[in-house]
């Protein structure tokens, strides 16, 4: 028998979760059963994803930074590349935040359903310690956010998911320090981290196999709990909000992938709008079907060189770095997801809270691995850092796979766009007639 793809299994998990919730609500089955015997599987799924996140961030960042081998030769190109990656990431998060604030996909939920959701999450968050960043925001010391970037004990931050930013910054610093050591000496630790990275990616794949059960448990328990003291028609209200949420993410991703990138490329380089989109098309399809930037790297490099004319020297440096640290689609998605969840739970986010979210997403997206579902982990941490209950992820987990496929397309298109711009500025964009076929 043909094996059902994970993607389909997750959709089946979602459908079963919705049906189970509908039946359970209709037959007025005791909520305690779902809370005690079904919900824990959803919690285990989210916890296992969170558990791999910190080692994954450290390993992929240190390895990514050290892919810049010869510092002197590559420092100029490296500077340009990192600058462009950073700028495009910040702009992507900003776009996501603006779009989510304008469309307000989470506000569709009525006051009654919202207050049920808040009550539910308040119960949960009362038992959870407030993250550090939030505590410091309450203190409001003007430079507290800078102080919070530097841990006084690295092992303490490693054991606390709300210290993501400290871990990302620490990993970058360690990566740079490692670059200063002769490659002969650092090779063994880099190879070890590379292997750890690969093993963690395998681990995520193993965890993702339980995604259908996790999605079933999360969706059914969420709906059953939310509707336990309200009308069942509210399920449809949440679904309606989800449709808005999905359309908002897809609209923003499409705008950037098929509008902004090719437009910028056609204005800044000699590659035309349609040449760029045509050249990158196959890589986009691979990204869409694998949901993995890493898996798309070989074809991305080939197409960037053969179809777009990026020299091998530039592509072999800019693209592997890009698939590790540059995730524009993921950044847009995370920004919309976080604001959506806050809106759905009726949580007001001040401008400073939204600025903190921009910083958290920008830095955390650097550490997201280019594998399916990797962003969920980081999104859970960004939510926690903003004091939005991470359990709110249950709201957006079900449609995540399809959004993952689409954001991965944007991720690799962004990497290719930066490669073309860097190559053009270095006069390394090879004419069609001179390219090797």
Which residues bind to ligand ASP, rule: CB under 6 A? 291-293, 327, 330, 368, 370-375, 404, 407-408, 411
Q: Which is nearer to ligand ASP, 368 or 394 (CB)?
A: 368
Query: Look-up: residue for tokens 């957006």?
Result: 396
Q: Which is nearer to ligand ASP, 133 or 291 (CB)?
A: 291
Shortest reach from residue 411's CB to ligand ASP, in Å: 4
Shortest reach from residue 201's CB to ligand ASP, in Å: 10
Shortest reach from residue 410's CB to ligand ASP, in Å: 9
What CA–CA distance (Å, rounded) separates 96 from 142?
26
Q: Which is nearer to ligand ASP, 347 or 371 (CB)?
A: 371
Q: Which is nearer to ligand ASP, 293 or 343 (CB)?
A: 293
Q: Which is nearer to ligand ASP, 287 or 314 (CB)?
A: 287
What CA–CA distance (Å, rounded) separates 108 from 237?
7
DSSP 280-298: HHHHHHHHHHH--HHHHHH
CA dihedral over 135, 137, 143, 145, signed as positive or negative:
positive
What CA–CA distance (Å, rounded) separates 51 from 416?
32
Shortest reach from residue 251's CB to ligand ASP, in Å: 17
Shortest reach from residue 378's CB to ligand ASP, in Å: 8
Exposed e or buried b for every residue in 127-157, given b needs 16+ CB within 10 A? Answer: eeeebbbbeebeeeeeeebeebeebeeeeeb
Please, which residues have CB within 8 angstroms of residue 298's CB and are 6 or more apart in sequence? none
Reported as type and span, the H/E element at residue 142 is: none
Which region holds residue 338: left if phi is over 0, alpha if psi is between -120 and 50, else beta? alpha
Q: Which is nearer to ligand ASP, 219 or 368 (CB)?
A: 368
Shortest reach from residue 228's CB to ligand ASP, in Å: 32
Q: Which is nearer to ligand ASP, 249 or 420 (CB)?
A: 249
Shortest reach from residue 413's CB to ligand ASP, in Å: 11
DSSP 209-226: HTHHHHHHHHHHHHHHHH
């Amino acid at each position: 028998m043909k094996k059902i793809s994970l993607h389909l299994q997750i959709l089946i998990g979602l459908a079963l979760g919705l049906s189970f919730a509908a039946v359970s609500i209709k037959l007025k089955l005791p909520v305690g059963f779902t809370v005690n015997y079904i919900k824990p599987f959803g919690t285990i799924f989210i916890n296992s994803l969170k558990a791999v996140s910190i080692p994954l961030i450290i390993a992929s960042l240190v390895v990514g930074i050290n892919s810049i081998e010869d510092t002197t030769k590559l420092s100029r190109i490296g500077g340009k590349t990192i600058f462009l990656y950073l700028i495009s990431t910040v702009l992507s998060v900003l776009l996501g935040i603006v779009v989510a604030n304008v469309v307000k996909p989470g506000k569709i939920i009525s006051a009654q359903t919202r207050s049920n959701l808040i009550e539910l999450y308040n119960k949960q968050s009362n038992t959870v310690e407030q993250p550090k960043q939030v505590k410091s925001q309450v203190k409001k010391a003007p430079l507290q956010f800078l102080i919070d970037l530097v841990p006084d004990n690295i092992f303490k931050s490693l054991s606390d998911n709300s210290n993501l930013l400290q871990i990302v910054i620490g990993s970058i610093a360690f990566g740079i320090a490692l670059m200063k050591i002769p490659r002969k000496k650092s090779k063994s630790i880099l190879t070890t981290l590379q292997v750890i990275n690969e093993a963690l990616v395998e681990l995520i794949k193993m965890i993702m196999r339980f995604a259908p059960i996790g999605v079933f448990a999360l969706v059914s328990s969420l709906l059953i709990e939310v509707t336990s003291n309200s009308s069942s028609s509210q399920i449809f209200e949440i679904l309606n909000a989800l449709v808005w949420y999905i359309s908002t993410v897809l609209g923003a991703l499409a705008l950037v992938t098929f509008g902004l990138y090719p437009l910028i490329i056609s204005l800044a380089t000699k590659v035309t709008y349609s040449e760029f989109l045509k050249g990158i098309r196959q890589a986009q399809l691979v990204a869409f079907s694998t949901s993995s930037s890493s898996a798309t790297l070989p074809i991305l490099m080939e197409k960037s060189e053969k179809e777009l004319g990026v020299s091998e020297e530039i592509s072999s440096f800019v693209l592997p770095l890009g698939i590790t640290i540059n995730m524009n689609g993921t950044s847009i998605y995370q920004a919309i997801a976080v604001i959506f969840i806050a809106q759905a739970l009726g949580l007001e986010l001040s401008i400073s809270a939204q600025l903190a979210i921009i910083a958290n997403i920008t830095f955390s997206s650097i550490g997201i691995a280019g594998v399916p579902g990797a962003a969920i982990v980081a999104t859970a941490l960004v939510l926690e850092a903003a004091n939005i209950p991470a359990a709110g992820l249950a709201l957006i987990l079900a449609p995540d796979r399809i959004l993952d496929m689409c954001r991965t397309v944007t991720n690799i298109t962004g990497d290719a766009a930066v490669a073309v711009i860097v190559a053009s500025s270095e006069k390394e964009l090879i004419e069609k007639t001179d390219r090797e076929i």
